[in-house]
Amino acid sequence: MAIRKLLTLSRRPLLLSSRSASTAAALAFPDLAAPAPARPPVMHYDRLAEAVRSKIKRLDDPDPRFLRYASPHPALADHTSVLAAPQTRVTTLPNGLRIATESTLSSRTATVGVWIDAGSRFETDETNGTAHFLEHMIFKGTQSRTVRQLEEEIENMGGHLNAYTSREQTTYYAKVLDKDVPKALEILADILQNSCFDEKRIERERDVILREMEEVEGQTEEVIFDHLHATAFQYTPLGRTILGPAQNIKTITKEHLKNYISTHYTAPRMVISAAGAVKHEDIVEHVKKVFTKLSNDPTTASELVAKEPAIFTGSEVRIIDDDIPLAQFAVAFSGASWTDPDSIALMVMQSMLGSWNKNAGGGKHMGSELSQRIAINEIAESMMAFNTNYKDTGLFGVYAVAKPDCLDDLAYAIMSEISKLSYRVSEADVTRARNQLKSSLQLHIDGTSPVAEDIGRQMLTYRRRVPVAELFARIDAVDASTVKRVANRFIFDQDVAIAAMGPIQSLPDYNWFRRHTYLLRY
């Protein structure tokens, strides 16, 4: 009976699932097993997208420990405590020479200097480089002091004597102890009025300046901005370099230097600035005694600028050099002059774009959206927004350094953020930029030398020292609507100037940049 039941059970069909059947077939006939379906390959762009998404997720959900004292919603900072700045006193002598001082009773040092409304802009093609050459020669001895006597006199009193030349201004200043201020003024007056330009010294200084030109050519940022000025203001005096061409350096003579002094180093175009442990009445009396040989030619720098104005030209210059490991470029729009009502708004817009450096380590949490995009996507080594002002024009833009394969993404990020200022601006970003700008302005005048420089520069550009309270009020008057209006004036559908150097084959062409000065909205 048991055997018959077993035979009956064995006649029932064996029911297997499809998966079990395939498994059994694979076990019985391994050579005929069906291959498993292949997964789709993971593309390179998918991996990049996943990496970016993971980075953004970490940014959206950061470590709460770092947000304990954070301020994600900026509020307008109160700077009332810094508005009570010392008064800037100004006296104008009969010959037109202006004397401006700011006294700090707690200081034991002082900076006195001469700020002159003259620079490389007021040269010709044949004399380009004379202003900088004169800056070198002014310390090479006077009628009463040899070079050695001049250097020993400065060092014996522990002072610091220096000078610099820009496109529109030339400066000679000394930083000394309070008791040596009269001596410093006397030395400045001597070198500016009684310099004797020895022919041997001139020949020796040619080689020094030519070596300095070689050093400047190694500073890529300086080279880029020289090329940017040359292409943006081509065929105008502002497009010339400060050092001048090498051929001019080899041909500048004693007569060129004397003519430049007699023409541009005049009393109406000079400001004596002093800050620190100084008394205004004492400075005025010392200046009257020592500055007695200045020309009182009434011709002003503004009149000379009106004869040869700077005209912005939309153009580009590209220098391809594959031997340089990193590519760098600057893109700029025509900016505002010093006295333009919108110059303050451009300063706020510069703070909104910000700056970033890979070595600094920050950036992914910065207020600048441009810095965030660059830091998250790692498409640049450094980036810096700039706003340069001149008497009748300016330059506003961004300078960046990046690897060659990142140039297209970096250019897109820069132009996207710049053009966005014409369309979409949040009050929070403007508030943050205003706070940063006000703090930056105060941090840059920490010390007697920066204060004296600020006084001299403002006296030449504004013809007065702008009080801190007025400056902060002008900054606080900038809101989102102001930024949009100014961006529509200077950026929206405007020509650009581009200077690029290095392995820049992948940098988009000029028409691409010009097309991205506005957004196509449908």
Catalytic site residues? 135, 205
Dist CA 167 CA 194 (whole Å):
25
Closest CA to 418 of 352, 481, 323: 352
Dist CA 70 CA 366 (whole Å):
12
Cβ(396)–Cβ(492) below 8 Å: no
Closest CA to 260 of 273, 248, 272: 248
What tokens were used for 457? 């520069």
Backbone angles phi, psi at 149, to 5 degrees: -65, -40
Dist CA 71 CA 486 (whole Å):
28
* Cβ contacts of 36 within 8 Å, gap of 6 or more: none
| DSSP characters over 163-226 | EEE-SS-EEEEEEEEGGGHHHHHHHHHHHHHSB---HHHHHHHHHHHHHHHHHHHT-HHHHHHH
- Within 354-423, residue ranges assigned H as helices are 369-377, 407-420
Dist CA 244 CA 263 (whole Å):
19
Backbone angles phi, psi at 171, to 5 degrees: -135, 135
What tokens were used for 378? 């790692």
Dist CA 265 CA 140 (whole Å):
18
Per DSSP bridges, beta strands 315-320 and 98-103 are: unpaired
* CA atoms lying within 13 Å on the CB side of residue 70: 12
What tokens were used for 327? 């590519």
Sheet holding 315-320, edge to edge: 315-320, 497-502, 327-334, 394-402, 382-389, 355-357
Partners of 102 in the β-ladder: 88, 275
3-class DSSP state of 141: coil
Q: What is the CA radius of gyration of the chain?
A: 33
